[in-house]
Amino acid sequence: MTRVLTVENLNIGFRSEGRELPVVHDVSFTLEAGKTLALVGESGSGKSVTSLGIMRLLPPPPQSRARGKIILHSDEDIDLLSISEARMRRLRGDRIAMIFQEPLTSLNPVYTIGDQIIEAIRSHRAISARKARERAVELIDQVGIPDAAARLTTYPHELSGGMRQRIMIAIALALEPEILIADEPTTALDVTVQAQIIDLLRRLQAETGMAMLFITHDFGVVADIADRTIVMYAGQMVEHGQTEAVLETPLMPYTSGLMRAVPELETAGLNQGELQSIEGFVPNPASLPNGCAFHPRCTHTLSGICDVPPVPFEDAGNGHLVRCKRWQSILENAE
């Protein structure tokens, strides 16, 4: 078990109309080689901002500001939040790579896919164009696209969404990074293509031993790919544990609510009761509710308890963490 990345008390705020709005609060986790950590939540929960914060791809201060520690473990520990932009650039794509939600718009339309893979390689390694091209063919082949050499000269718009996401993966893997951040890589794809991409990512992880941070709002995908799972709500971690533990005995009512909204889990037998969505909306970061951020939408809310801070992130045993004051009584009532 090798830790490759440790995130400690990451806080991210965006500047809006003269003041800073906190969008990520005290997020902490570790990534391990060969393992996948899933970050789950609705849009607006802060999961994508967390991943862009790790890559330092958020707008520069003062528009956004990140505090805390993001430590990349290697021969020496590097705190990504304290190194220069030039040094961060050398790590991006090389040690930490990222793929995105929209394969249709994530590739530059005016360059061939060969050029775009080669650009990634030659941004970090001083190798000849011919060597880089050979490596690009190898990568295209590795992500399961037939006739790799011929694909070098095709343009993104000539490929389907699934194919383009495979190319994005090829670009991300070009320099054999230790960490791959995948920000909802399957959300924009058809269900069958989704499954193929998940399979591909699992196979590539087995081959390369990279750590994966997988961002999604879909528990079906979580069950397929993640070793550990973090559920985020309103910029906070609200549940964190082994994926089986979180899926089998979700302790936070928000987690169970999210799971009830997923059709796939129903057929997998993990989801009891009918399919339903959670009432209401994710709160605006400018006006978070007092106490538990989820309490206005929660069916288990008790006033005088849930709306009173602080709400600690408690260990419920076996490293299964939950941010809910009532998790024990809810669990007992269910039994």
Partner 1 sequence: MLRFTLYRLGHSVLLLFLVSLIGYTILHLAPGGPLSQYALSPGMSQAELNQIAERMGLNRPIPIQYLDWLSSFLVGDWGESFRDGRAVLSVISGHLFATILLVLSSSVISIGLGTLVGVLGATRRYSAWDYLATVGAMIALSIPTFWFGLVAIYVFALRLDWFPSGNMYSIGDESFLDYVHHLVMPSLVLALVNVAIWSRYMRSSMLDVIGQDFVRTAKAKGVSGRRVLYGHVIRNALIPMITLAGIQLPMLLSGALVTETVFTWPGIGRLFLDSLGYNDYPVIMGVLMFTAIFVLLGNLIADILVAIADPRVRLE
Instruction: Kindly determine how many residues on this chain lie close enough to bind partner 1 according to the rule CB under 8 A.
Output: 27
Identify which of 169, 171, 207 has the alpha carbon closest to the alpha carbon of residue 189. Answer: 169
Stretch that binds partner 1, among 119-127, 300-308, 314-322, 327-335 (CB under 8 A): 119-127
CA distance 145 to 258: 35
Output 70 or 91, the one with its CB closest to partner 1.
91
Least separation in angstroms between residue 250's CB and partner 1 is 32
Least separation in angstroms between residue 177's CB and partner 1 is 10
Q: What is the amino acid identity at position 164?
A: R
Output 177 or 253, the one with its CB closest to partner 1.
177
**Residue at token pair 């990074």:** 177
CA distance 161 to 136: 19
Please give the C-alpha separations between residue 247 and each of 38, 258, 259, 317, in angstroms, as whole numbers.
Answer: 12, 11, 8, 15
Stretch that binds partner 1, among 30-38, 94-102, 218-226, 232-240 (CB under 8 A): 94-102
119 binds partner 1 (CB under 8 A): yes
Output 47 or 323, the one with its CB closest to partner 1.
47
Identify which of 247, 249, 220, 245 has the alpha carbon closest to the alpha carbon of residue 334. Answer: 249
Least separation in angstroms between residue 144's CB and partner 1 is 20
Continuous segment of H or E residues that includes residue 9:
strand 3-16
157 binds partner 1 (CB under 8 A): yes
188 binds partner 1 (CB under 8 A): no
Among 2, 9, 43, 108, binds partner 1 (CB under 8 A): 108
Tokens of 237: 């971690």
91 binds partner 1 (CB under 8 A): yes
Output 1 or 86, the one with its CB closest to partner 1.
86
Among 15, 73, 89, 133, binds partner 1 (CB under 8 A): 89
Among 1, 110, 126, 334, binds partner 1 (CB under 8 A): 110
Helix axes 161-173, 129-142, angle to 10 degrees: 130
Whether the bond into 62 is cis, omega within 30 of 0: yes
Identify which of 257, 296, 260, 255 has the alpha carbon closest to the alpha carbon of residue 275. Answer: 260
Residues of this chain that bind partner 1 (CB under 8 A): 55, 57, 85, 89-94, 97-98, 100, 102, 105-110, 119-120, 123-124, 155, 157, 168, 171
